[in-house]
Structure 1
Amino acid sequence: MDLLLLADPSQKMIERYLDRSTCLAMVKENEIVGVCVLIETRPLTMEIVNIAVREKEQGKGNGKKLIEHATDYAKTKGFRRLEVCTGNSSILQLGFYQKCGFSMTGIDKGYFIDHYAEPIFENGIQCRDRIRFAKRLS
């Protein structure tokens, strides 16, 4: 759970999707250093609902490897679209997902205000809106 909380500060929100998800783990030297949690959202569509890499393993390409593994996993299961969302204040993630081949598809205004009890701040910015990304898996 501590690793999942790096990407989503609400244990309550994590518990809502965990029981219906597939969790891919990255293991190094018998330690889980990264996770990617996927759920089927619609026919032929999977969403990455949580992706996190331990701080000591960040900046080493592990997040990209998790995205590549999630992409391969979704393809082998017959999915044609992979989606991921992040907050408007998640500056690094906004660039990261685009570098991994995702395109912005929409903005859910007020999502984090409506769905999280406590305000979230990153990079000196309040996280208010959910930014949606997707890529085709054909």
Structure 2
Amino acid sequence: MITYPQYRNCGGRLDEYEFDQLEPGVCRLIDSYIKSNIPYWKVRKLTEYDIDFSDLITMQVDFIAENGGKAALNGNSDFNVTSVSTKGFNYQMKGKQVPMFNNVPLSPVMVTELRNAMRQTGLLSMSL
């Protein structure tokens, strides 16, 4: 949905190969998230919503890359690890409150900005 030059122009930090590996999955993730949060009669193709997704996709691509990469898009993110144990050493993580969608971590800033964009375009309203 966005090109590598658009991604870099929005502040993206990955190289082109990594971006190409993650961008399609991130677009499907955002599309699914939108569809699960709006009334069924407002569902359209991602490209048909009156929203510029460049910054949102960039934020989510970088967030996914930092938290498990392609495995995170399949529900195996770094946020799924809650404790680690080895000989004489135990470590437990608590309090990592990251929004998840179908077990895939979402950038908290991306979620806020996406929901604001959806609100501004009327996607979140229930009226016809």
TM-score by length of 1: 0.24
Normalized per residue, the structure richer in helix is 2
TM-score by length of 2: 0.25
Normalized per residue, the structure richer in strand is 1
Greater RCO structure (CA 8 Å; 6+ sep): 2
If you compute each CA radius of gyration, which structure gives the higher value, 1 or 2?
A: 2
